[in-house]
Amino acid sequence: MPSRALGEFEQLILLALVALPPEECYGVPIRELIEQRTGRALSAGAVYTALDRLTARGFVSSALGEPTAERGGRRKRMYHLETAGARELARSVRTLQGMSEGLLPQLELRLAGTTARSSGKRR
Amino acid sequence: MHQRTRLPWLARVLAALLIGDDADVLRGDLEERYRRRVAQDGDSLRLRVAVVSDAALSLVHWSWSRVGRRSPAARIPRNQEGIMTTMGPDLRQMLRGLRRRPGYAGMVALTLGLGIGATTTIYSVVDAMLVRPLPYRDADRLVVIGNTVPGSEWLEGREGLQRLEVIALPNFQDLRERVSGLRGTAAIERRNWLSATREDEPEILDVANVEAGFFDLLSVKPLLGRLTRDGDQVGDAGGQWGTVISYEGWQRRFGADPTIIGKSFRQFTIIGVLPRDFVQPAALVGTNVEFWVHLDPKDRRYTDRRRRTVMVLARLAPDVPVERLRRDLSVAQTRLAAERPEGNVSRDGGSLGAGINSLRDATIGAGGRPVLIFFGAALLLLVLAGTNAANLLIVRGLERDGELSLRRALGAARTRLAVSLVAESLTLALAGGVVGLGIAAAGVAAFRRLGPQAIPRMSEVAVNFRIVVAGIVLSTVVGVLVGVIPAIRSSGADLLANLRSSLTAFSPRGTRLRTSLAATQLALALVLGVGASLLFRSFVQLRNERLGFEPNGLVAFTVAFKNARPWETWDQVLEAVGRLPGVTAVGGASNLPFEGPQLMLSLKPADETREASLAAVAGYAVNPTYFATAKIPVLRGRTFDSSDQPDSRKVVIINERFARMTFGDRDPIGQVLRVQEDWMQGAQYEVVGVVGDVVQARVEDGMLPAFYRPHTQMPAAMSVLVASRRDVASLAPEIRRSLVDIGLWSAPVVGMSSMRERIGASFSTPRFQLLLIGTFAGVAVLLAGIGLYGTLTYTVRSRTRELGIRMAMGASQRQVFELVLRQGVRVLVGGLTVGLVGAAGLTRLLQGFLHRVSPIDPLAFGAALLVLVVVVLAAALRPAGRAARVDPIASMRAH
């Protein structure tokens, strides 16, 4: 497996695994946490697609959990953040943080400028 | 409660389609998430839609990412031989191949989805209307019995279906004693009850009087309370009429109040609520009865033989065919009419007959035919979509020819390759089926909204489990058929030729097959296009028909009231409404245009002696200002005025057509008409005016003869026509208030709408037909265009080298351009010839839908042809242009 930087969505999933208590590290809470914090809607299938990729890269591991009545008697798959995953996530977050340090105000300014210029062009 | 919450069924179906490891985990997630959100915000339609779309998206994601990927957990046994063991890897390879080309896969799935969706939509209507039995126990034994009128016993458009009218209950009771084979009967009368109290707005309530046994015949159990029984009519339940209410009424009026039983509403005490799934027998009572009350056979209304008031629902004894009962009833009725003529005489003096239909036939009426034609059109679209998909598959197969041939050469079995091709098309067709079911769900919703009342059993139409199964079966069949074409082609293909083909310049592989498929598509598109074009022409003809009055700025409504001298109320209402600000004119009539006549009478000049049988003429009561308000021209003589009083000379105004028919070139003014019907006892009217012709019930009927009588001399219910620049919404409350002001608080205003709206509504059936067939035709033309474009583009791409050589040898750009265009034209000519012949044969089926347009109308055929020619040229231009721009050197170097 060639090493490749984490995608944005993969970062979100890994961050969710950090945030959630171990007994809630499965599909539904992961998805709900991401939806709550980012405001974007996900499909249940998309979460698993990403988790599959992360499993294949050894960043997370999983085991089948206990069935519950709430799920119509079906089992959960519980996920666990592996050290390799934690390391990769930390690196990826630090990279972004380091690079973006102090740049956000400037970025906002740039965006404000773009709107002004493009509306100016229209006139 | 928590335990009982289940996923919406559609989500469950989608979830069941998940395959692979851990599919159960995802299913569990879907269910858990749904339950959490229900617990949080309660169940709602929005949530259900969200859950279904979640399941659908997950299915796509899941299938894309999980299936076809070798998960570490999956270990495929490879130590066995045979097709079943090679199937797994083959399927995986196929799915991987599709994943690599999402554009191609999406295109095929969407194309098939359109065809499957159209077919499934119409099939859901066909299924509800023609396939499923009526939702009653032993429904095929239920029949409807009534009187028939000699001369119009049979309903047009359906073999063996009688036109039944109401019958007098005592006469039916006599009939019942004279025939055998009826196991139970119940008389029904559909009525509108005026309900008025000083507190509430007056209202007309939809009521059905049903005799004891009615609900037993339909095997209905009440949801709450009990059903009707003898005694309800004398106030056994709470001193008022006991009534069972419909489920819809219970929801709408009473907010589904579970303690409704015993409460009173207007003149009723509510004794029961009907279940939600009870389907009203439309042939007897229509579809919107809200109050069901007991019919007491001893009531004066039902003991009088001269009052024909009821239809009869009955159950046949086992093994008694409807035809036998029809014969027996007819014989018995002839004898009965001779013995007791009361109530057995039709208006023109003949004896009434008695007729019977199965409840099912009576419910469907003549409505089956249009739906079958729609179904045929949908099937044409499906064949077209299938052809299109087959073409795409072949093109892809050609690209894989090298691969397939190599595999064959290395020893792969033919069947194995064929199976993998069919499996690919099957997968795509099933994906198309999912798209198609989505289209069907939307289509059925659109049908409900746009579908005219003319479609019987519309309330039972739904995309239910049966339809989903039908859709899946259909997708499977389509998938196999579509896959078989390229499979046969590739299994018969010459191995060596295929392997060698990349080395040769000329590669016309499969061109003929693909060309004929493209031509088939054009032919099918032309058939649908001609159909749509004919319906469009017919619709335009309808809209351009002369109405005979000026509908702009007219608002119409009906006032329901009771008065032995109704003309006094008419005058009061017209005066009060006329005083409202912004009202320029107001007139009254028993029936307005598009409402049909008040009655039909046969009128003959009093001095005419010859015994000609006369067709009855439509009659209306109108007030003096009616013609001016509707801007109907008075051509001769005068309109009615205040000199026309109840006891003055009996006068009549006739329309132009009637004047010409009866008097020819003679001046009708001053002539006397005599009513031929016995029950009018020789009444005579003097003609005082002639007015222009006006549309009566439907534009389709053309201008028919009519006569008008003063409202003072022909008592009638009242409709009002208001000329005003103001709209309905602002006028309605003021009109209502003005009626209260003149003491008519008990008179409900019914059906207030602008004349334009009424005209629009009268065109709803042809508009719906046009919309449906037009949509099919549009999709068909689009698919055919895309199909041809794809074929030509592929041809050009695969012939790049040949074209390069031609240009290197001196062919001009123009010649190459024409070469490709010519191929397009060849397809065009072949396809359109077949299409024209097919269309000319099939459009005859549309005859009944067409107004003043021949089914082989040259203009309609020409328009459809023109559209297709334009589409073909547009589809051929780009590939031809690309061919002309081929760089000879680059093309030869590329190989």
Q: Do B27 and A75 touch (CB under 8 A)?
A: no
- Tokens 């959990």 belong to A65
What would the mean pLDDT of B45-57 be, rounded to a whole number?
81
Do residues B674 and B731 touch, judged by C-beta distance below 8 A?
Answer: no
pLDDT at residue B614 in the model: 67
Q: Do A75 and B25 touch (CB under 8 A)?
A: yes
* Contact residues on chain B for A34, CB-CB shorter than 8 A: none
Q: Do A44 and B54 touch (CB under 8 A)?
A: yes
- Measure in Å the smallest separation between the Cα of A49 and chain B Cα atoms: 6
Report residue B554: phi and psi, to 5°. -105, 135
Which range, A65-79, B4-18, B317-331, B411-425, is most confident?
B317-331
Work out whether strand B203-211 and strand B291-295 pair parallel, antiparallel, or are unpaired: parallel
B60–chain A Cβ distance below 8 A for any pair: yes
Report residue B764 CA to chain centroid gap.
Answer: 10
pLDDT at residue B307 in the model: 86
| Closest residue by Cα to residue B244 from B256, B227, B258 | B227
Q: Which two tokens stand for residue B792?
A: 């030509």
Indicate the residue of B29, B58, B60 with minimum beta-carbon distance to A28. Answer: B29
Indicate the residue of B22, B32, B62 with minimum beta-carbon distance to A71. Answer: B32
AA identity, residue B838? G
pLDDT at residue B492 in the model: 56
Task: Strands of chain A (E only): list them.
Answer: 60-64, 77-81
% of chain A surpassing 90 pLDDT: 20
Q: Which two tokens stand for residue B146?
A: 């009534």
AA identity, residue B880? A
Sign of the four-CA dihedral B536, B537, B538, B539 = positive
What would the mean pLDDT of B538-553 be, rounded to a whole number?
93
B57–chain A Cβ distance below 8 A for any pair: yes
Mean of pLDDT over chain B: 85
Other Cβ atoms less than 10 A from the Cβ of B255: the count is 8
AA identity, residue B383? V
Residue to substitute from B2, B53, B54, B61, interface A, most A β-carbons within 10 A = B61
- How far, in Å, CA of B471 to CA of B17, rounded? 14
How many beta-carbon pairs below 8 A join chains A and B? 82
Q: Do B62 and A67 touch (CB under 8 A)?
A: no
pLDDT at residue B81 in the model: 41
pLDDT at residue B47 in the model: 83
Do residues B476 and B432 touch, judged by C-beta distance below 8 A?
Answer: no
Q: Do B33 and A26 touch (CB under 8 A)?
A: no
Contacts of B347-350 with CB under 8 Å at 24 or more apart are B347/B600, B347/B616, B347/B677, B347/B679, B348/B602, B348/B616, B348/B676, B348/B677, B349/B677, B349/B678, B350/B149, B350/B150, B350/B151
pLDDT at residue B340 in the model: 87
Q: What is the ipTM of this complex?
A: 0.79
Which range, B29-43, B615-629, B804-818, is most confident?
B615-629
pLDDT at residue A121 in the model: 39
- How far, in Å, CA of B853 to CA of B847, rounded? 9
B40–chain A Cβ distance below 8 A for any pair: no
Task: Strands of B328-469 (E only): list them.
Answer: 353-358
- Measure in Å the smallest separation between the Cα of A104 and chain B Cα atoms: 34
> Is B109 a residue whose pLDDT tops 60?
yes
pLDDT at residue B491 in the model: 57
> Is B2 a residue whose pLDDT tops 50?
no
> Is B131 a residue whose pLDDT tops 90?
no
B28–chain A Cβ distance below 8 A for any pair: yes
| pTM, two decimal places | 0.73
pLDDT at residue B66 in the model: 60
> Is B537 a residue whose pLDDT tops 50?
yes
Indicate the residue of A43, A70, A77 with minimum beta-carbon distance to B35. Answer: A70
Report residue B498 CA to chain centroid gap.
Answer: 51
Bridge-partner residues for B265, per DSSP?
A: B268
Report residue B687: phi and psi, to 5°. -75, 125
- Measure in Å the smallest separation between the Cα of B97 and chain A Cα atoms: 19
Residues with Cβ < 8 Å from B392, sequence gap 6 or more? B104, B107, B108, B111, B790
Grade residue B222 by pLDDT with cuts at 50, 70 and 90: very high
Do residues B554 and B589 touch, judged by C-beta distance below 8 A?
Answer: no
| Closest residue by Cα to residue B294 from B206, B234, B222, B218 | B234
Q: Do A48 and B28 touch (CB under 8 A)?
A: no
Grade residue B247 by pLDDT with cuts at 50, 70 and 90: very high
Which residue has better confidence, B633 or B821? Answer: B633
- How far, in Å, CA of A29 to CA of A22, rounded? 11
**What is the chain B residue with the closest CA to A67?**
B28
Report residue B781 CA to chain centroid gap.
Answer: 23
* Contact residues on chain B for A48, CB-CB shorter than 8 A: 22, 25-26, 61-62, 65-66
Mapped onto helix, strand or coil, the DSSP state of residue B719 is: strand
Residues with Cβ < 8 Å from B854, sequence gap 6 or more? none
pLDDT at residue B644 in the model: 94
Q: Which two tokens stand for residue A109?
A: 């300014």
> Is B706 a residue whose pLDDT tops 80?
yes
Which pLDDT tens digit goes with each residue over B474-505?
888 888 888 887 777 665 555 555 555 544 44
**Under an 8 Å CB criterion, which residues of A touch B?**
26-28, 31-32, 43-46, 48-49, 52, 64, 67-72, 74-77
Burial class (CB in 10 A: 0-12, 13-18, 19+), B34: buried
Q: Do A71 and B28 touch (CB under 8 A)?
A: yes
Q: Do A74 and B24 touch (CB under 8 A)?
A: yes
Which residue has better confidence, A74 or B723? Answer: B723
pLDDT at residue B797 in the model: 78
- Tokens 């949080």 belong to B40
Which range, A39-53, B142-156, B242-256, B778-792, is most confident?
B242-256
Do residues B802 and B506 touch, judged by C-beta distance below 8 A?
Answer: yes
Do residues B678 and B671 touch, judged by C-beta distance below 8 A?
Answer: no
Report residue B167: phi and psi, to 5°. -130, 155
Residues with Cβ < 8 Å from B754, sequence gap 6 or more? B554, B555, B556, B727, B728
- How far, in Å, CA of B186 to CA of B813, rounded? 83
- Tokens 């081929």 belong to B886
Indicate the residue of B22, B31, B57 with minimum beta-carbon distance to A72. Answer: B31
Which range, B47-61, B280-294, B671-685, is most confident?
B280-294
Grade residue B157 by pLDDT with cuts at 50, 70 and 90: low
